[in-house]
Chains A and B, each alone.
Chain A
Amino acid sequence: MPDDLIKLANLSFAWGEKVILKDINLSIPRGSVVAIMGPSGVGKTTVLRLITGQLSPTKGTVEVDGMCVSSMSHKNLYKMRRNIGVLLQNGALFTDLDVFENVAVPVREHSNLPEALIRRLVLIKLEAVGLRGAVDLMPSELSGGMARRVALARASVLDPSLMLYDEPLAGLDPIGASTILRLIRDTNDAMGMTSVVITHSVEDMMELADYAYIIASQSIVGQGTPEQLRENTDPRVVQFLNGEIDGPVPFHYPASDLHQDLLG
């Protein structure tokens, strides 16, 4: 059994001419919670979509569980995804279904379990995120944090071996955020999963993650355990971890000379 569940090797990705990622090497060991951090718009979500096979790398390979994602057939890709739970940024609950049906969707789609069993399965998952009482609510009646927890229950309902979280804390109040953090750690350890968390909230991740990568300006600029990262002296890492306004990641979006732009 290989130790790394996910392996990105010499990976590059570009949208047309615009290079997003360049020569990324990244591996995620089984059973761990790994954070992928970096400033907004740097291509963190792209990494997630490369792992799930929604995007294909321009160069290099993505391996999940020893299999190359980019060369998979559509059928095998869907088969692989059954083993992956993904929590998208806003939860992406189905707005026409209530909480129960939302969580039941993957079960109904991928199994022929009897209704009574589905009900138990869904209720157990909702209990784990503390929302068994909200089972009959519609997504529009949920707060942001609750919607995120329902989405977490839905993503983990088939007991996947890999969970991917895209900005799980974005837009949550402190209580909601720490609830999600707890749940990420608990589900990971209780179910023996591997978790990848994509985020820009530094402090929370330094507490949660076993290992972290920092992506900036198209490549990985720092990696290590939270302690190692704190001691990292690379200016790009220091700027990101301390939230400094200007640095290697410039405050200004590239532009022509201001004087010339204003006065012609």
Chain B
Amino acid sequence: MSKTNSNMDAITKPLATLGRSVLFFGQILAAFRPDAKMFRAILAQVYFIGARSLVIIMVCGFFVGMVLTLQSYVELSKFGATDSVGVVLALSLFRELGPVLTALLFSGRAGTSIAAEIGLMKATEQLSAMELMAIDPVKRVVVPRFIAGVISLPLLSMLFTLLALAGGATYAINIMGVDSGIFWGNMVSNVGFQSDFMMSFWKSLAFGIIASFIAVFSGYFTTPTGDGIGRATTQTVVVSAVVVLIVDFLITVLMTWT
């Protein structure tokens, strides 16, 4: 009997979570009001999330750019194609590494703190107190953080890509001695606005929605205990990473279809 139950649980629990997340997403959209109060709250959250993630994004971006250049330079030099190192760098950054790595760093840095913050507000009855004051906690707590995440991730992704390009250029031009005119020139003529830059943007926007939603969802539906909040933060990182990588593949398939 209990065996059947646990088997059923294995099917019904993920389904219930899925259903709940669809409803919660609807609730978030319904609670969104573009008024001054919400605008101020979103702005404050963009500042928090941006400030929280800025340093890590910049440092990681710079080093990813350098290591990427180093690796491709070694391989390209075998074919005498080191002039293209800038192209390889830019394409991999715009199409994949910029949005994906930023999303992973974002969920590790900002996502976890959003989940923990909302979870703690739940555990200390602050969300309940809001409801009792006739204040919708979804509207006042969840929506600003969610929207701020959706706005921040594309911006952070651009910053990451920019710093990675700078890091790569520093390494290629100053250390490996690639001609700077060739490095930038090849890059500019081989990177497309629609195919590469916009792909970067659409991906980071999608990842922003995914990572922010998973963070607020994990926090809002956490078991209100220390243990529960711990699980919510872990879940934020793990689930975000898996979903981001799967969706990354799907978007790439869609955008390269034609």
Residues of A that sit less than 8 Å from B by CB: 52, 54, 78-79, 81-82, 84, 86, 88-90, 92-95, 105-106, 109-110, 154
Task: Please report the C-alpha to C-alpha distance between residue A110 and residue B133 in the assembled complex, in whole angstroms.
Answer: 9
A54-B132 in contact (CB<8A):
yes
Q: Is B128 an interface residue (CB 8 A)?
A: yes
Q: Which residues of A contact B131 (CB under 8 A)?
A: 54, 81
A88-B135 in contact (CB<8A):
no
A52-B136 in contact (CB<8A):
no
B133-A88 in contact (CB<8A):
no
16 contacts between A and B (CB under 8 A): A52-B132, A54-B131, A79-B134, A82-B134, A88-B132, A92-B124, A92-B125, A92-B126, A92-B129, A95-B120, A105-B133, A105-B135, A109-B134, A109-B135, A109-B140, A154-B133
Q: Which residues of B contact A81 (CB under 8 A)?
A: 131-134
Q: Which residues of A contact B124 (CB under 8 A)?
A: 90, 92, 95
A88-B129 in contact (CB<8A):
yes
A88-B125 in contact (CB<8A):
yes
Shortest Cβ distance from A17 into chain B, in angstroms? 15
Q: Which residues of A contact B121 (CB under 8 A)?
A: 94-95
Q: Which residues of B contact A93 (CB under 8 A)?
A: 126
Q: Which residues of A contact B133 (CB under 8 A)?
A: 81-82, 86, 105-106, 109, 154
Residues of B that sit less than 8 Å from A by CB: 120-121, 124-126, 128-129, 131-136, 140
Q: Which residues of A contact B128 (CB under 8 A)?
A: 54, 88, 92
Q: Which residues of A contact B129 (CB under 8 A)?
A: 86, 88, 92, 94
Q: Which residue of B lies closest to A88 (CB)?
A: B125
Q: Which residues of A contact B126 (CB under 8 A)?
A: 92-95
User: Could you tell me the dominant secondary structure of chain B's interface residues?
Assistant: helix
Task: Please report the C-alpha to C-alpha distance between residue A81 and residue B129 in the assembled complex, in whole angstroms.
Answer: 11
Task: Please report the C-alpha to C-alpha distance between residue A206 and residue B208 in the assembled complex, in whole angstroms.
Answer: 56
B136-A78 in contact (CB<8A):
yes
Task: Please report the C-alpha to C-alpha distance between residue A95 and residue B133 in the assembled complex, in whole angstroms.
Answer: 16
A90-B135 in contact (CB<8A):
no
A106's partner among B120, B125, B135 (CB-CB below 8 A) is B135
Q: Which residues of B contact A110 (CB under 8 A)?
A: 134
Q: Which residues of A contact B140 (CB under 8 A)?
A: 109
Given known contacts A88-B125, A89-B125, A95-B126, A78 and B134 CB-to-CB distance under 8 angstroms: yes
Known: A86-B129, A88-B129, A95-B124. 14 other contacts (CB 8 A): A54-B132, A78-B136, A81-B133, A82-B133, A84-B132, A86-B132, A88-B132, A89-B125, A92-B125, A92-B129, A94-B121, A95-B126, A105-B133, A109-B135
Q: Which residue of A lies closest to B132 (CB)?
A: A86
Q: Which residues of B contact A86 (CB under 8 A)?
A: 129, 132-133
Q: Which residues of B contact A88 (CB under 8 A)?
A: 125, 128-129, 132
Task: Please report the C-alpha to C-alpha distance between residue A249 and residue B173 in the assembled complex, in whole angstroms.
Answer: 81
Task: Please report the C-alpha to C-alpha distance between residue A47 and residue B58 in the assembled complex, in whole angstroms.
Answer: 53
The winner among A54, A92, A106 for most chain B CB atoms within 10 A is: A92
Task: Please report the C-alpha to C-alpha distance between residue A106 and residue B134 in the assembled complex, in whole angstroms.
Answer: 8
Q: Which residue of B lies closest to A166 (CB)?
A: B125
Q: Which residues of B contact A84 (CB under 8 A)?
A: 132
Q: Which residues of B contact A154 (CB under 8 A)?
A: 133
Task: Please report the C-alpha to C-alpha distance between residue A40 and residue B125 in the assembled complex, in whole angstroms.
Answer: 19
Task: Please report the C-alpha to C-alpha distance between residue A109 and residue B136 in the assembled complex, in whole angstroms.
Answer: 10
B136-A90 in contact (CB<8A):
no
Q: Which residues of B contact A106 (CB under 8 A)?
A: 133-135
Shortest Cβ distance from B120 into chain A, in angstroms? 8
Shortest Cβ distance from B134 into chain A, in angstroms? 4
CB-based closest 8 A-B pairs: A92-B129, A81-B134, A92-B125, A78-B134, A86-B132, A82-B134, A106-B133, A109-B135
Task: Please report the C-alpha to C-alpha distance between residue A90 and residue B224 in the assembled complex, in whole angstroms.
Answer: 14
